[in-house]
């Protein structure tokens, strides 16, 4: 190589031998081939690791969010949570690997060009130092702007600032590029262009990294429900369905009054209890306590002799059936909605659909594998409640909780619901929060709530005989 260099630069203009030419073409070809191979490896590894990273981050955030207490959902706007799962995951999945790939390619390209330029033009190092300092300050400004954007959490405001931040960044870089071109006019143009591209890709990478930081904040910062179990629930628990609430005090926030105030009552095995009271009296809170959706300040709940605070949350929640006021269906086939764990046979599923008077509807939709649509929109509200009832029957739970199940349902569906509940849960404990007093007039006992306290807990016919009872006034007022 040295010989060849001397030959070319000696002024004799000797043509390189064809052997030399072949050698250098070979080296050049080798570098090009290696470059292609490494580029391919780089592109593949970035795409693959980006996908893996997004998958891991997504499942970690999901796990954390699913374990979060109700308080977290009360305090966090749903849009913000959705943003973590949509735009942030999308950035980690697509944007970040893409721009990081470009940034690293440009970084090494620029470093190579700078080394070659410095070897050829050593005085260039003198120019490089002020450029580096200038770049450093521009970079600090841009990073500060990004930090500001990051601190705004309200989704819309964030979007607005992100757009203006991007405009600011671009303006800074454009200004920077113009200055640099004028300033470094004796410097070979490709170097300035490389430097400008490097700054742009670096700021873009940093901006995309914010999504990763926000995801990490959720993974590390979202609190989890307390789930330190002292024991595992016996396999057949609860076998009778006897529930005891003892001195329960519940406060949603430290500055709020008690939503439940020293609530004490006990429900016998197989008893049908109606729960009534004015709005805000604490009816739904009783169910939240039963499912340990909220942390109580004082007291204990015992089901069949086992204090529920001792049990793992999954055991507790999977052994009690609930029909919520707002019946929830997954965007999935009927089969998965009825039997999310996939442990029942088709004939079991059709049997419960028969019992909840839904066979015809599901057959018309296309059978067990028919999709229920987004949040079950292919069904009416009443049919969704019947589907929740079918799900409850399938769990064979000894305790069924119905929260205002008849609130937004027509009379016919209400009648079907009540009939099925009477037939299928004849031996089970059923707690019904009732909107229509008529629904609970057949109950064994009625629990009347007011301002978080238990006012009365007696058979309805006894309460109706006493004109001074709270229940009597409620019935007459309705």
Residues making contact with Mg ion (CB under 5 A): 284
State the sign of the Cα–Cα–Cα–Cα dihedral 299, 303, 309, 314: negative
Distance CA 50, CA 92 (A): 7
Distance CA 156, CA 77 (A): 12
Q: How far is CA 296 from CA 184, 212, 414, in A?
A: 69, 35, 33
Identify which of residues 335 and 435 has a Cβ nearer to ligand ATP in the complex. Answer: 435
* Residue 243 site contact among ligand ATP, Mg ion, none (CB < 5 to 8 Å, cut-off depends on kind): none
- Supply the minimum distance, in Å, between the C-beta of residue 377 and Mg ion: 24
- Supply the minimum distance, in Å, between the C-beta of residue 239 and ligand ATP: 29
- Supply the minimum distance, in Å, between the C-beta of residue 365 and ligand ATP: 32
Q: Using CB under 6 A as the criterion, what x/- string covers residues 149-178 for binding ligand ATP?
A: ------------------------------
Identify which of residues 285 and 443 has a Cβ nearer to Mg ion in the complex. Answer: 285
- Supply the minimum distance, in Å, between the C-beta of residue 374 and ligand ATP: 25
Q: Which of 185, 254, 279, 467 binds ligand ATP (CB under 6 A)?
A: 279
- Supply the minimum distance, in Å, between the C-beta of residue 269 and ligand ATP: 25
Decide: is 259 part of the binding site for ligand ATP (CB under 6 A): yes
* C-alpha closest to that of 153 among 200, 201, 204, 88: 88
Q: What are phi and psi of 79, to 5 degrees?
A: -60, -35
Q: Using CB under 6 A as the criterion, what x/- string covers residues 282-311 for binding ligand ATP?
A: xxxx--------------------------
* C-alpha closest to that of 186 among 137, 254, 118, 124: 124
Which region, judged by CB under 6 A, interacts with ligand ATP, from 272-280, 337-345, 388-396, 423-431?
272-280
Q: Spell out the SS3 assignment of 377-392.
A: CCCCHHHHHHHHHHHH
Q: How many residues of this chain bind ligand ATP (CB under 6 A)?
A: 13
Q: Using CB under 6 A as the criterion, what x/- string covers residues 183-222 for binding ligand ATP?
A: ----------------------------------------
Site for ligand ATP in 71-130 (CB under 6 A): 74
DSSP string, 277-321: ESTTSSHHHHHHHHTTSS--SEEEEEETTEEGGGS-HHHHHHSEE
DSSP string, 165-184: HHHHHHHHHHHHHHHHHHHT
Which region, judged by CB under 6 A, interacts with ligand ATP, from 234-242, 265-273, 275-283, 392-400?
275-283
Distance CA 440, CA 471 (A): 12
* C-alpha closest to that of 449 among 250, 242, 260: 260
- Supply the minimum distance, in Å, between the C-beta of residue 337 and Mg ion: 24
Q: Using CB under 6 A as the criterion, what x/- string covers residues 55-74 for binding ligand ATP?
A: ---------------x---x
CB under 8 A, 24+ apart: contacts of 100-104:
100/46, 100/205, 100/208, 101/42, 101/43, 101/46, 102/201, 103/198, 103/201, 103/202, 103/204, 103/205, 104/42
Distance CA 383, CA 416 (A): 10
Identify which of residues 252 and 350 has a Cβ nearer to ligand ATP in the complex. Answer: 252
Identify which of residues 338 and 449 has a Cβ nearer to ligand ATP in the complex. Answer: 449
* C-alpha closest to that of 282 among 268, 271, 294, 272: 294
Identify which of residues 280 and 360 has a Cβ nearer to ligand ATP in the complex. Answer: 280
Longest CA–CA span in the chain (Å) reads 125
Identify which of residues 280 and 367 has a Cβ nearer to ligand ATP in the complex. Answer: 280
Identify which of residues 95 and 282 has a Cβ nearer to ligand ATP in the complex. Answer: 282
- Supply the minimum distance, in Å, between the C-beta of residue 193 and ligand ATP: 57
Which stretches of the chain bind ligand ATP, using CB under 6 A? 70, 74, 252, 256, 259, 277, 279-285
């Amino acid at each position: 190589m040295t010989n060849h260099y001397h030959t070319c630069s000696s002024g004799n203009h000797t043509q390189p031998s064809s052997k030399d030419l072949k050698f250098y073409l070979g080296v050049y070809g080798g570098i090009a081939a290696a470059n292609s191979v490494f580029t391919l490896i780089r592109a593949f590894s970035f795409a693959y690791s980006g996908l893996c990273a997004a998958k891991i981050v997504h499942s970690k955030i999901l796990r954390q969010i699913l374990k979060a207490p109700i308080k977290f959902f009360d305090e966090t706007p749903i849009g913000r949570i959705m943003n973590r799962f949509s735009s942030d995951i999308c950035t980690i999945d697509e944007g970040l690997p893409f721009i990081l790939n470009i940034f690293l390619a440009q970084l090494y390209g620029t470093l190579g060009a700078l080394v070659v330029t410095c070897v050829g033009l050593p005085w260039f190092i003198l120019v490089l130092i002020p450029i580096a300092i200038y770049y450093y300050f521009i970079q600090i400004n841009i990073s500060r702007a990004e930090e500001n954007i990051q601190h705004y959490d309200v989704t819309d405001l964030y979007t607005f600032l992100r757009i203006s931040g991007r405009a600011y960044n671009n303006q800074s870089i454009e200004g920077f590029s113009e200055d640099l071109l004028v300033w470094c006019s004796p410097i070979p143009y490709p170097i300035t262009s490389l430097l400008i591209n490097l700054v742009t890709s670096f700021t873009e990478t940093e901006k995309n990294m914010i999504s990763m930081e926000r995801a990490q904040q959720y993974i590390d910062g979202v609190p989890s429900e307390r789930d330190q179990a002292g024991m595992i629930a016996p396999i057949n628990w609860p076998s009778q369905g006897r529930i005891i609430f003892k001195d329960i005090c519940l406060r949603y926030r430290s500055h709020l009054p008690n939503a439940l105030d020293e609530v004490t009552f006990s429900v016998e095995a197989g008893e049908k209890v109606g729960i009534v009271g004015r709005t805000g009296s604490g009816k739904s809170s009783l169910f939240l306590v039963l499912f340990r959706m909220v942390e109580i300040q004082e007291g204990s709940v015992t089901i069949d002799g086992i204090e529920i605070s001792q049990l793992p949350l999954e055991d507790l929640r999977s052994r009690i059936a609930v029909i919520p006021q707002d019946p929830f269906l997954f965007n999935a086939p009927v089969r998965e909605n009825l039997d999310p764990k996939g442990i029942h046979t088709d004939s079991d599923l059709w049997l419960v659909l028969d019992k909840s008077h839904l066979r015809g509807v599901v057959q018309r939709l296309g059978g067990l594998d028919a999709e229920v649509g987004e949040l079950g929109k292919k069904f009416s509200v009443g049919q969704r409640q019947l589907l929740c009832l079918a799900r409850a029957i399938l769990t064979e739970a000894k305790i069924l909780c119905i929260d205002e199940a008849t609130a937004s349902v027509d009379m016919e569906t209400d009648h079907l619901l009540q009939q099925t509940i009477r037939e299928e849960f004849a031996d089970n404990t059923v707690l019904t929060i009732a909107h229509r007093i008529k629904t609970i007039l057949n109950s064994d006992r009625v629990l009347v709530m007011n301002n978080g306290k238990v006012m009365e807990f007696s058979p309805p016919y006894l309460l109706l005989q006493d004109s001074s009872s709270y229940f009597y006034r409620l019935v007459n007022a309705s």
